[in-house]
Chain A
Amino acid sequence: DGGITQSPKYLFRKEGQNVTLSCEQNLNHDAMYWYRQDPGQGLRLIYYSQIVNDFQKGDIAEGYSVSREKKESFPLTVTSAQKNPTAFYLCASSSAENYEQYFGPGTRLTVT
């Protein structure tokens, strides 16, 4: 069964701690994306990667970091520099031939 997995579904952290959200896909997609969604809002792009070992900042990259060492994996680290990290985080992937993005189930991060 092909798809995108994100874990965990819910994550709780104390302020000042870094936290890494995982995203894995077995769709053989080249491109992967991280979005942030706040209550009642649309999706805002944090980082994206078109190919392994390369990634670019999206609209709201400050306070976040990513890596793309493998085609299947695109982990997102929420650092202590992110002023308001509590949000719903969605990972997506797409192929080079098709602009449609496939989404993982999301991780709801709460920082207190």
Chain B
Amino acid sequence: GQNIDQPTEMTATEGAIVQINCTYQTSGFNGLFWYQQHAGEAPTFLSYNVLDGLEEKGRFSSFLSRSKGYSYLLLKELQMKDSASYLCAVSSNAGNMLTFGGGTRLMVKP
């Protein structure tokens, strides 16, 4: 089976940096996605990591270590609109299905 763990909730201050971790155990790993989901809305794509290392995209960066089964999403210069849930999802050999973690609810405070 597959197991994906991420913290349930995090709080950070506007303008700060926050790192959301995700650990996974899976067979036949293909890649790892991060999605952002505002309350009551659909998840939207943030990043996709296949190889080890850091992928930077504006204020958001995502890191992957395949050997450690570990990823993190880094959000810089936090804004109030970044308050949302962040979902880690793993793509494995099982076709193009994704297995999602429980999501991390981030609250950004002034």
Contacts and interface: CB of A to CB of B under 8 A. Distances in A.
Given A31-B96, A42-B87, A48-B97, A100 B48 contact: yes
Interface string B43-54: 111001000000
A106 interface: yes
B42 A90 contact: yes
A48 to B, nearest CB: 6
- Helix, strand, loop or mixed for chain B's interface? strand
- Helix, strand, loop or mixed for chain A's interface? strand
B105 A105 contact: no
B7 interface: no
Interface in B39-87: 40-45, 48, 87
Interface of B: 8, 30-31, 33, 40-45, 48, 87, 89, 91, 95-103, 105
Interface of A: 31, 33, 35, 40-45, 48, 50, 88, 90, 94, 96, 98-106, 108
